[in-house]
Every structure is written in C-alpha cells, then in structure tokens.
Amino acid sequence: MSFSVWINRLLLISLMLISLTVVLVVGKANLQSNSSNPSSTDLDLAAWSPAKVQLQAANEQEEEFQDSSKSLTKTDSTPKLESKNKQADKLQKSPTPSSTNKPVSTNKQAEQLQNIPQYSFKTTKAFKQYTPSYEIALANPSNYGERFTTDINGVPLNNQAIIVLHETSDSASSAINTFQAPHTDENKQVSYHSLITLNGTIIYIVPPDKRAFGAGNSVFDGSNGSETVQTNPGLEPSVNNFAYHVSLETPLEGRNNEPYHIGYTDAQYYSLAWLIAQSSVPDERITTHRDVDRSGTRIDPRSFDFDKFFNLLHSFRQSIS
Ligand SMILES: [Zn+2]
C-alpha cells in the first residue's frame, strides 16, 4: 500500500467520524428542543394553577377544564404562561352558561351548588405582565391524599374552597425536605400546596386537586358558619379537605419564636397575589393558619400585611359577577 493511498483512507475515515459527530450533535439539539416544547409543559403548568382547586361538588367543572386544556394545547402555540393565563381566564368566566349543555350530571351539580353563592373573577393586564419564576418539588405521596366526598359519618361534603396562608418558620429548602421525606406516622405527615421563597419563586408541591396536610385541628368561621371536616377518626377535624395551603418563606431574621419579624419581600407579595388571582376563591375565604387553628399553637403567618396583599390581589383580578 502506497503512502498516498494510506493518507487518503485516513482522511476518509476522519471525514466519516466528523460527519457522524455532526449528526449526533444536531440530533441531540433537536431532541432537547422537543422536550422543551410548550405542548408538553403546558398541561403540567396549568395543572398547578389554584384555578384547579377542585372540591367535592365541582368535579364536573374540572372535567370540562381538562377537556378544553387538551384541545387548546393541540392547536395553540402561544408561550406556556400566556396560554395558562388564558385557560385560567376561561375557567373563571365560565361557571354558569357553559354547564347548560351538560345533561345528566349538571342537574346534580346544580342541586349541590344551589345554596352556594357563585364568584367569578377575571385576571387583569397587570396579572399578565407579571411572570414569577417557578419550580416543581412534588411532595412524597405519604404527605398528601385525595379530597374526600363524605366525612367519617358518610355525610356528603360541599364546602367551597378556602385559601390558608402560612409561613415556613425555617428555610424553604428545609420545608421541602420534610415534605419529600416519607412519613408513616400520621402526626408527621405534612405539606402545603405551594410555597413562595424570599425571591418570589413559586414552588409547586402538592397538586391543587389533592388534599394537602397543612393544618391539624382547625375550623374556618365564615359567612356559612363554622366549617370543618373530620375524615379520620384518629385525628381532629380540620379544614384540609377544602383548603388550598400556600406558605411564605420566613425571612432569615425571623427564624425564631418571636411573635413578629420584619415581614415578607415585595417579590413574595407579588407572587402570592399572582398565584391567588387565578383562583375563584373570594377575598372573605382567604384566611391564615393562625385564624383557623384550634390547637392554640399556630400563629403563622407572622407580620403579614393584609392591606398590601389585597391591594395587589385586586390589581391582578377583578370581579365580573
Ligand atoms: Zn402554618
């Protein structure tokens, strides 16, 4: 074999190797862009919206929402948060008229909802202009469960949703570690649906249609009277069955047992208002762990500025009823 033939073969082999590398790199890039395609993350993100807080009597509406979100993702190529907002809008606008063409179960639902006032909200332009960053840190399944349709005595449940505000007391990461650790002892099973870190990042922990274990012995006193649900004969009744629990990371200076601290960051107030603006829960059903607690041990969230929060909430959603 002459030297030049040998060189040519070497060149040919190098060329083949280079083209193989190019094919592999380009292929990988395509794969990555596919996996970040909005159609796959759309549903995931929409599923975390508190607009999805679904309770015993509202199952029919949830099916409707899922159907519409499926068809949306097939045709809609708008960026993920944008289309999430649209879905939230859609759900918030639709409670009465859209259920008229649901023949069988609508009547049942109407009966169940007969004495419950309906609230509808529309998110605003300011809401759409604010885009908090988020992470998903799913809790261990031992720390949350299904929402019950009846209590321990078999009585059907039809409580409207409430939102319960908390603070973590420690760092957000320490709270998440607790929620992600399996707990067999019922007294140690704890979780929130979401929490908001000091820099305003929303961490989604328990899907809103599930029952998070955010409060022990607790009662919500509202315009419908005292509401609480016992679902476990071994545990005190609580608001968990109809609650969406959201917590604020405690400031560094407040990780002690003092009754007050310096309060929460602006980013936390904005993200909290943005999150809750997507729900149909009326202002008077937004409460605190301190208010619902009946164990006499909970005082969170400490130093929470309700005026600041409600002003932001009202800038992010408006009543349309
Ligand atoms: Zn709490």
pLDDT score of 113 more than 50: no
pLDDT at residue number 275: 97
SS3 138: coil
pLDDT greater at residue 147 or residue 64 = 147
pLDDT at residue number 9: 80
Q: How far is the CA of 298 from the centre of ligand 1 (A)?
A: 6
- Average pLDDT on 250-277 reads 97
pLDDT greater at residue 57 or residue 222 = 222
pLDDT score of 67 more than 80: no
| Count of helix runs (H) and strand runs (E) in the chain | 10, 12
pLDDT at residue number 11: 73
pLDDT at residue number 3: 62
SS3 122: strand
The dihedral over CA atoms of 207, 209, 212, 218, expressed in degrees to the nearest 10, equals 150
Helices (H), 76-161: 80-93, 103-113, 125-129
pLDDT score of 108 more than 70: no
Q: How far is the CA of 281 from the centre of ligand 1 (A)?
A: 19
The CATH code belonging to domain 120-319 is 3.40.80.10
Q: What is the pLDDT of residues 82-92, one digit of tens each?
A: 333 333 333 33
pLDDT greater at residue 22 or residue 285 = 285
Q: How far is the CA of 292 from the centre of ligand 1 (A)?
A: 10
Domain edges within the chain:
1-36, 120-319
Q: How far is the CA of 168 from the centre of ligand 1 (A)?
A: 7
Amino acid (1-letter code) at residue 66: Q
pLDDT score of 202 more than 70: yes
* Burial annotation 264-283 (CB, 10 A radius, 16+ → b, else e): bbebbbbbbbbbbbbbbbbe
Q: Pick the closest to residue 38 from 76, 68, 88, 70 (CA basis).
A: 76
SS3 121: strand
Q: How far is the CA of 207 from the centre of ligand 1 (A)?
A: 18
- Average pLDDT on 36-53 reads 64
Say how far apart CA 291 and CA 307 lie, in whole Å: 17
- Half-sphere exposure (Cβ direction) of 92: Cα atoms closer than 13 Å: 26
